[in-house]
């Protein structure tokens, strides 16, 4: 497996924010988001380096960190061919597994092995193409408690596109799937409080009331900025 880094920190995003967690970052991604804050995870030119690790070695490194919660991230972890075998090994060892994915790939063999799917479809502000509806609809069919939908917002156009998307898919309102908004990092870094305020105000608008919207920061960015291994 193409492993860039294994480290322990606290989860900085989503519904498990604040939980002590081991992060496993894999190399390679099938998207090129303009605002990506981990370009080194898909580009050698951006400083990307990795080790080709067997599952047993990687599982031991994870165990050495001592955290029950493990996040498999990237890049795009769903590109790793041996991800199901790693997930089986980690679940057998008692770990809670989150996959952070851009949601462009759905692998049925992973469904029973992952505790939480942190799904992050890319809106127009990412400049990386249209939403890929087929895998997104497959993820929607999973149990609601296994999903969180995380959207990076760059402005009004992203919110308009997102509202159209969730309105066209009944599961978001009917199952109250968590819809997490977080401000795009470069915008937020200029004035994080104002960026969150802007989103919080829009979350109160009548058109969003049928949905389970949560405005959340990236806690690790607030604490450490854009440092790696935190």
pLDDT by residue, tens only, the chain of 230 residues? 999 999 999 999 999 999 999 999 999 999 999 999 899 999 998 889 999 999 999 999 999 999 999 999 999 999 999 999 999 999 999 999 999 999 999 999 999 999 999 999 999 999 998 899 999 999 999 999 999 999 999 999 999 999 999 999 999 999 999 999 999 877 766 788 999 999 999 999 999 999 999 999 989 888 887 778 88
Residue 204: predicted pLDDT: 97
Q: Give the domain ranges of the chain.
A: 2-224
Q: How far is CA 230 from CA 7, 120, 223, 226, in A?
A: 8, 20, 9, 9
Q: How many CB atoms lie within 10 A of CB 221?
A: 20
Instruction: State both tokens at 108.
Output: 């049925």
Distance CA 132, CA 214 (A): 23
CB atoms within 10 A of CB 41: 23
| pLDDT score for 227 | 79
Under 8 Å between Cβ of 217 and 199:
no
Burial class of residue 88 in the structure, from the number of CB atoms within 10 Å of its CB (0-12 exposed, 13-18 middle, 19+ buried): middle
Taking the C-alpha atoms of residue 149 and residue 204, their distance in angstroms, rounded to an integer, is 18
**2-224: CATH architecture:** Alpha-Beta Barrel (3.20)
| pLDDT score at 188 | 67
């Amino acid at each position: 497996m193409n492993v860039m880094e294994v480290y322990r920190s606290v989860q900085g995003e989503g519904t498990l924010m604040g939980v002590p967690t081991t992060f496993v970052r894999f190399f390679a991604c099938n998207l090129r988001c303009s605002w990506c804050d981990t370009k080194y995870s898909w580009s050698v030119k951006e400083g990307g380096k990795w080790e080709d690790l067997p599952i047993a070695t990687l599982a031991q490194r994870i165990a050495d960190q001592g955290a029950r919660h493990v996040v498999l991230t990237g890049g795009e972890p769903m590109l790793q061919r041996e991800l199901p075998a790693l997930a089986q090994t980690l679940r057998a060892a008692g770990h809670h597994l989150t996959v952070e994915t851009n949601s462009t790939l759905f692998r049925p063999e992973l469904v029973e092995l992952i505790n939480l799917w942190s799904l992050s479809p890319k809106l127009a502000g990412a400049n990386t193409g249209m939403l890929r509806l087929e895998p997104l609809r497959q993820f929607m069919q999973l149990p609601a408690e296994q999903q969180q939908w995380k959207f990076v917002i760059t402005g009004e156009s992203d919110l308009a596109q997102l509202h159209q998307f969730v309105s066209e898919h009944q599961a978001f309102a009917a199952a109250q799937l968590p819809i997490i908004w977080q401000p795009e990092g470069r915008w937020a870094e200029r004035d994080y409080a104002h960026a969150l305020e802007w989103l919080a105000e829009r979350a109160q608008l009548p058109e969003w009331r049928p949905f389970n919207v949560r405005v959340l920061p990236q806690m690790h960015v607030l604490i450490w900025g854009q440092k790696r291994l935190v």
